[in-house]
Amino acid sequence: MVMDASKYDLQLKKRINNNTADGPVCRVKNGRMRMSQCDLYNNRTEVKVINGMLIINRVIRADSGNYRLNLESSDGSETSRELQVIVEAPVGSVEVSIISSSSGGMSVFSWTLNGDPLMDGNSSIDLDKRRDGDISCSVKNHVSHAQKTIRLKPCPSLDRFCRFDQSDPCYAALEHKLNLLMVQDAIKYDLMLMKIINNTAHDPLCRVKNDRMRMSQCDLYNNIPEVTVINGTVIINRVIRADSGNYRLTLVHSDGSETSRDLQVIVEAPIGSVKVSIICSSSGVMRVFCSSEGDQILYSWTLNGDPLMDGNSSIDLDNGTDGDISCSVKNHVSHGQKTIRLKPCPGSTTAAVTSSLTSAVTTSTQTSECVCSVSLVFVLVRCLQLMVLLGLLGAFHMYMRHTSGKKQEDQKVRMRRFREGHEHTAEDS
């Protein structure tokens, strides 16, 4: 605040809504805070004044704001100074991640690549998926900074190659490259590629002559710059859903004769990240779920390397199963896999491991046997309780009969003695 606080009476105010009259205040005299007049830092033991310096040992968010310091000299004159305080959380650990996107780019949190500056100010940047090297992300604010560097590797490719003379459908990966071979030597032919929609002359087509697309006669790929023809191959750099369909390639020979070939193209979204989760049920079943993005997904399972059930996205195992469970996911254009460690469910008392699909009949039989066993134990316990109760009732009944008989005998003895005494009295008279 000041170099020599003993020369002044100080008053520190926090301005609220640009109004100094109602803001909290703290008075300092003879270099010491007057706690009875300090509602600004009241009850905060980590705030103190030493040698004209206000020390806050632990800053909080509420310490941000605009402050005014009033200095009153010994002659009664006053001066004021203002300061804005901004509290920022320091930079924590820096994480750099890579996403290989189906659009052909990589998104990273980064600023430099191999030491060369890239884009500043954004938390992500797009690179060609074939880039490699050291990518660094530097993060800073007004109070701290940190950096993280990771190694880039080219993203795996899902490019597809098909031929017009193949009999099987052509499967293409959505938003990836498709290479569609028409003929080996396209310069020998005039080519016409048509997408069959209504099988009429109005279906979209594209003409290729001298191995070049004639853009004025290509309403099939009109105004789509990512489609080119090179060496008799149609190259679609970024496949879209609309590329699915039935195609007919017509070849016009130099003598005017024509031949045609048909091909079906099916576009599928590739497999995304594979996730495996577990739910333990009270019925003694451990249900394992597998999920992923993509089209026409096929699932397969293994437990400790042994195959389980194929085709379903979930399987049921015994609660006591442990080991490594793997879910493999695939379609016609890609595949993925996830392996996790299984542990017996909490409270499980069985150690059996289910390594193959149990039929519904076996499951039903096991369930019935379990229910019967439980029912038999329940009946035996109830019978034992009933026998104990009947024994107690019998003993109580015998005790009561014995007690009642004894009381009647004592009463008869007393009556007999009473009569005998009465008869002796009469004889004496």
In this prediction, what percent of the chain has a pLDDT beyond 70? 79
228 closest CA partner among 242, 214, 240, 216: 214
Instruction: Say what the pLDDT of residue 405 is.
Output: 62
Domain boundary among 336, 355, 374: 355
Question: Would you state the structure tokens that stand for residue 97, as one six-digit string?
Answer: 């991640």
User: Confidence class of residue 196 from pLDDT cuts 50, 70 and 90?
Assistant: very high
Dihedral sign, Cα of residue 347, residue 349, residue 351, residue 353: negative
175: left (phi over 0), alpha (psi -120 to 50) or beta: left
pLDDT of 273-295, one tens digit each?
Answer: 899 999 988 888 889 999 999 99
Q: What is the CATH number of the domain that holds 79?
A: 2.60.40
- Dist CA 207 CA 227 (whole Å): 13
**pTM (2 decimals)?**
0.49
Render pLDDT for 58-109 as a digit per residue (tens, 0 to 9).
999 989 999 999 988 888 888 999 999 999 988 777 777 766 554 444 445 5
Most confident of 149-158, 167-176, 311-320: 167-176
Nearest residue to 212 (alpha-carbon basis) of 181, 191, 240, 196: 191
Alpha-carbon span 191 to 419, nearest angstrom:
144
Are 253 and 293 in a shared domain? no
Indicate whether 257 and 171 sit together in one domain. Answer: yes
Same domain, 204 and 279: no
358: pLDDT strictly greater than 50: no
Residue 166 DSSP label: -
Write out the DSSP string of 37-66. Answer: EESSSTT-TTEEEETTEEEESS--GGG-EE
CA separation for the pair 277, 256 (Å, rounded): 63
For residue 106, list its beta bridge partners. 100, 127
Amino acid, single-letter form, for residue 133: G
Average pLDDT, the chain: 79
Q: Is residue 411's pLDDT more than 90?
A: no
Domain coverage including residue 117: 98-152
- What is the Cα–Cα distance from 260 to 164, expressed in whole angstroms? 10
Tell me, yes or no, whether 244 and 192 share the same domain: yes
Q: Indicate the pairing of strand 178-181 with strand 160-163.
A: parallel
Same domain? For 284 and 256 the reply is no
CA-CA distance, 169 to 104, in Å (whole number)? Answer: 24
Does residue 370 register a pLDDT over 50? no
Q: Kindly report, residue by residue over 214-252, the tens digit of the pLDDT.
A: 777 888 887 777 888 888 899 999 999 999 999 999 998
Which CATH number goes with the domain that contains 257? 2.60.40.10
